[in-house]
Amino acid sequence: MKYSAKEPYYVETFYKVVNIKDADSLIVKNELTKEEKEIRLYGIDAPEIRINRKLKIDEEKSHLPASLLMELGWEARNYLTTVLSVDDRITIITETKNAYDVYNRQLAYVILKSGECLNELLLQNGYAKASREYYCSKLPEYQLMNRQAQINRRGLYAKIPHF
């Protein structure tokens, strides 16, 4: 595998995608143990697809209406489903020092069958933005990828300057 984190990390294999919750979180299942868990993608944030507490916060921060944010959230999720499907096998890389968020979701870089990092594809193509909230050691690189997507008006940035 060619992808690795900068900080000490551990790698988990034999996981399949069970559910794509939105553009930055997945439910996965271990093929051997049948254990299911939620994965939150490191270093990125995509618009919400449901009315919830975070949508209200995002609406206030971005000064964009919730209805538009949810529309963008569905667009981001739809993009994700072009590169990842339910039942796809993935590799999960988690930084040892920063493994879980406040909701006890495992934070991770998700590596696709192609060897590409899902987190980075979402950023590079403008369907997620870099975020300190789900910190990772690659955050400076992610911020640069995010800025390039903004400048080049990729993905969601083709419609709006920020989200």
> Taking the CA of residue 100 as centre, how many other CA atoms within 13 Å lie in the half-sphere pointing to its CB?
6
**Which residue segments constitute the domains of the chain, with CATH numbers given?**
9-157 (2.40.50.90)
Using DSSP, state whether 40 is helix, strand or coil.
strand
Write down the pTM of the prediction.
0.94
- CA 34 from centre of chain: 23
Listed in sequence order, the residues at least 6 apart from 5 whose beta carbon sits closer than 8 Å to its beta carbon are 93, 95, 109, 136, 137, 138
pLDDT value of position 64: 95
Q: Which two tokens stand for residue 123?
A: 């950023």
What is the tens place of the pLDDT at every residue in 129-143?
999 988 899 999 999
What is the tens place of the pLDDT at every residue in 69-121?
999 999 999 999 999 999 999 999 999 999 999 999 999 999 999 999 999 99
* Rg over CA atoms, the chain: 15
pLDDT value of position 134: 80
Nearest Cα neighbor of 155 from 128, 119, 118 is: 128
Q: Which two tokens stand for residue 143?
A: 């911020």
